[in-house]
Amino acid sequence: MTPIFSAPVCMMEAVPSPLPDTDSERDWSELPVDALSAIFTKLGTVEILMGASFVCHSWLAASKSPELWRFVDMTRHKVIFSKRTGILCAMAKAAIDRSDGQIESFWAQKFVTGELLDYIALFCTMEVEPGPLPDTADRDWSELPVDALSVVFMKLGTVEILMGASFVCHSWLAASKSPELWRFVDMTRHKVIFSKGTDILCAMAKVAIDRSDGRMESFWAQKFVTCELLDYIVSRASSTLKSIRLIACVFVWEQSLATLAAKCPLLEEIECSHHKMPADFFKYVGIVRPQLKRLRVHMRYYDYDEMEDEMKEHHDEDEDDDEYEEPFEQWEARRNVDAFAIAENMHELRLLQISGNNLTNKGVYAILDGCPHLECLDLSDCYQIHVDDQL
């Protein structure tokens, strides 16, 4: 089969930046308690109770700050499903005690007992005398070591670092340029994405790509991506990119995304949602990236046959044209053209999301046969599928 796009493969070998020359390894126990507490706010309840609290005396002291325990979340953690009820209730009580009566939210899963609820109620009704604030000078956060700041910045998002942390001071700017922060660039679901112009957002994305120093593995974006930006990604991160997810990026042509797929040998995940791609795109990507593991194509459902019928109603009723009736086999093949292209060319898929597609049961069977390693198949809003006993 001849590929629909020609895409010569070229990659830029990124030379890792030299590590900072430090005389000895960082002793994290020497960080001030208030700095440690600020870092711990980015951890979860279970991580603090079973991890940070047991490192050293200074980390234990920092983990007892009541501000850390206003919101206690003991849900969706593997520990919740592996420890006994008695242990989990004891952990929950420790968290409640550390809140010093300031707890505002308590979320839990599976283990809560009536006795634990009584314990929580006791703290909610008792009058708590607030402890005196420590008599310390204001913390100059610019004095924190760059490596410590980088750890804090790992908990921020791409946009927050680019538009916030980078502008505080010179030391924060230096910390924000650590390549480790930019392995995963996520520019989706942020209010800035919907308020800034395309040029500004593309410029921000290029800064993030440059700071990755050729090590970026994932690039997720919404609305603003252009073909020129995809070419920029290829020129800077083709040898490391594993995931690209584009949501409603209507400025991107399928040829540019197909070219990126051809030039990124490690690519395992593609999303091109809310922007219609032809079946030939899936064929070509399957040819150049047969190892693709995840494909996401979310679309709003349209019944194109119904749309065509509505358009015909506006024609002159006096026209005496013989109405062509499409054979069922041809109709079904047209409905399943995307599904057939995926089934015939993407045999290593583990996850496939094609919600809103016009495929029928025949297309579903083709995908199940052609993608034997499939673990997750999302067919939501695919209204031409009829679930029967066989399916």
Q: Could you give the CA distance from residue 327 to residue 230 in angstroms, rounded to a whole number?
A: 41
CB-CB contact of 297 with 273 (8 Å): yes
Q: Could you give the CA distance from residue 193 to residue 244 in angstroms, rounded to a whole number?
A: 17
Instruction: Quote the pLDDT of residue 28.
Output: 62
Instruction: Quote the pLDDT of residue 177.
Output: 93
What is the mean predicted confidence (pLDDT) over 302-310? 63
Separation of first and last alpha carbons in the chain:
31
For the chain, the residue count is 391
Instruction: Quote the pLDDT of residue 219.
Output: 98
Q: Choose the most confident range, by mean pLDDT, from 59-73, 94-108, 361-375.
A: 361-375
Decide if 213 is inside a domain. Answer: no
Residue indicated by tokens 């042509």: 253
Instruction: Quote the pLDDT of residue 123.
Output: 72
Decide if 198 is inside a domain. Answer: no
Spell out the residues 6+ positions from residue 327 whose beta carbon is closer than 8 angstroms to its own: none
Q: What is the band of 305 on the pLDDT scale with cuts at 50, 70, 90?
A: low
Decide if 45 is inside a domain. Answer: yes
Decide if 68 is inside a domain. Answer: yes
Instruction: Quote the pLDDT of residue 2.
Output: 39
- Residue of 130, 142, 132 lying closest to 35 (CA atoms): 142
Q: Could you give the CA distance from residue 299 to residue 380 in angstroms, rounded to a whole number?
A: 10
Q: Could you give the CA distance from residue 219 to residue 182 in angstroms, rounded to a whole number?
A: 9
Tens digits of residue pLDDT in 161-195: 999 888 888 888 989 999 999 999 999 989 999 99
Decide if 171 is inside a domain. Answer: no
Q: What is the mean pLDDT of the chain?
A: 84
Q: What is the band of 361 on the pLDDT scale with cuts at 50, 70, 90?
A: very high
Decide if 104 is inside a domain. Answer: yes
Decide if 242 is inside a domain. Answer: no
Instruction: Quote the pLDDT of residue 14.
Output: 46
Amino acid (1-letter code) at residue 289: R
Decide if 379 is inside a domain. Answer: no
Q: What is the band of 197 on the pLDDT scale with cuts at 50, 70, 90?
A: very high
Instruction: Quote the pLDDT of residue 150.
Output: 84
Residue indicated by tokens 């209010």: 191
Q: Where are the alpha helices (DSSP H) in the chain?
A: 33-40, 45-50, 57-63, 78-82, 85-98, 114-125, 146-153, 158-163, 170-176, 198-211, 227-237, 254-263, 279-288, 304-313, 328-335, 337-345, 361-370
Instruction: Quote the pLDDT of residue 26.
Output: 57
Tokens for 93, please give them: 């009580």
Number of domains in the chain: 1
What is the mean predicted confidence (pLDDT) over 305-333? 66
What is the mean predicted confidence (pLDDT) over 261-284? 95
Q: Could you give the CA distance from residue 216 to residue 181 in angstroms, rounded to a whole number?
A: 9
Instruction: Quote the pLDDT of residue 63.
Output: 87
What is the mean predicted confidence (pLDDT) over 232-246? 97
Residue 347 has pLDDT above 80, yes or no: yes
Tens digits of residue pLDDT in 56-94: 777 888 888 888 998 999 998 888 888 899 999 999 999
Instruction: Quote the pLDDT of residue 3.
Output: 42
Return the percentage of the chain with pLDDT > 90, whole number. 51
Backbone dihedral angles phi then psi of residue 186, each to the nearest 5 degrees:
-120, 110
Residue indicated by tokens 């980015």: 42
Instruction: Quote the pLDDT of residue 307.
Output: 58
Q: Could you give the CA distance from residue 19 to residue 173 in angstroms, rounded to a whole number?
A: 17
Instruction: Quote the pLDDT of residue 251.
Output: 94
Residue indicated by tokens 């057939």: 340
Structural domain span for residue 75: 33-124
pTM: 0.66
Rounded (5°) CA angle 106-110-115: 65
Instruction: Quote the pLDDT of residue 217.
Output: 97
